[in-house]
Amino acid sequence: MTDASPTPDLPVVRLVPKAEARAIRHGFPWVYANELVTDRRTRKLAPGTIVRLEDAGRAPLGLVAVNPASRIICRVLDRDADAVIDQNWLAARLQRALAHRARLYDQPFYRLVHAEADGLPGVIIDRFGDLAVVQPNAAWADVMIGPLVAALQDVTGVQTVVMNGTGRTRSLEGLDEKIEIAAGAAPDGPIPVPMNGATYMADVMGGQKTGLFYDQRPNHAFVAGLAKDARVLDVFAHVGGFGLAALAGGAASALAVDGSAPALDLATQGAVAMGAETRFQARKGDAFDTLAALGDEGQRFDVVICDPPAFAPSKNALDAGLRAYERVARLAAPLVADGGYLVLCSCSHAADLTKFRNASSRGIGRAGRRGQIIHTGFAGPDHPLMPHLAESGYLKAVVYRL
């Protein structure tokens, strides 16, 4: 590990007079482009440069990473304007994050770093035993990927680190897309992940995002508690998140629906790995078309789960996204047996809980069904919520009994 060096002379950027410096002092982690003086010198700073941030009166606010190519032009790294952002600093943040997860889980399978909420803006790290997947979704993390990977290995002892540089967030930062092995050797195939009594197969090199969604863990567990002897339908199943958890909870059967054949193949491998293949079926197809077809076939299930991708990834997409969530509920509700359960999920931060719940309830009503809400779930504690940043509390799961 590197030794801390004297604080270097860093460039300085400054808020415009009308910007609200108090928000930064109280913990807000971002500065938007219209809040910063963007003179020629600032515009010439390379994306990811670490600079000192001052308010309009030249009082220091801390160290930030600047990216003139992004609408989020600054991300706060440290309130101490004299801190040194190096491998030691990264290791301290990682150690703090690890201490929290080590209290939560008895096996090393979890989200280790949840971006701003863990003090590493734009950085996602998911751990799969002795392998970790890093998503450097901010320019500063892309620049410092070497020290970040070294600190990660030193703190956690992981042997292999995959750098997954894909996704919408990186494009908003002006960063290239790439997936590469940053340390160690590429895995031979999918990695078995034990969770809630089920076994999931994570494709860390070619799957969605890091290869597995840990955020739904507590919601999977809740559904597993409803699933004994139940007929379960898992729509937008990905690698079988809810369906496999239901099988671990004693479900009589689980039908997984997804548009991705590779994802369903991983779900099937998971069912085999946990000895539940005779109770598991996969059906490839568009989720909306398949929901309608199952209704036409007269199919009924005791538990139906719909966990779609983000239909409202931004405010501009909110209205269309809410209509899509309403449509999901309208198509899914008729498939639920009387007294059964409908689980509807959203990972759209632009659609808050009230808007999502209202859209879902409208869809259920339009289907001619009535229900009671028995549970509302959120992401697990390895996905901490930053109080100042609504975007970090994106996941909602609403459970209805119809």
**Catalytic residue chosen out of the listed positions 74, 306, 345, 347:** 347
What is the Cα–Cα distance from 140 to 81, expressed in whole angstroms? 17
What do you get for the CA distance between the two ends of the chain, in Å?
57
Residue found by looking up tokens 């937008």 in the block: 236
> CB 373: neighbour CB atoms within 10 A?
12
**Residue 386 backbone dihedrals phi, psi, to 5 degrees:** -85, 120
Residue found by looking up tokens 């004693």 in the block: 250
152: alpha, beta or left? (left if phi > 0; alpha if psi -120 to 50): alpha
Helix axes 261-273, 241-248, angle to 10 degrees: 20
What is the Cα–Cα distance from 42 to 36, expressed in whole angstroms? 9
Tell me if residue 74 is catalytic.
Answer: no
**In terms of DSSP H, where are the helices of 234-383?**
241-248, 261-273, 287-296, 318-332, 353-366
* Residues designated catalytic: 347
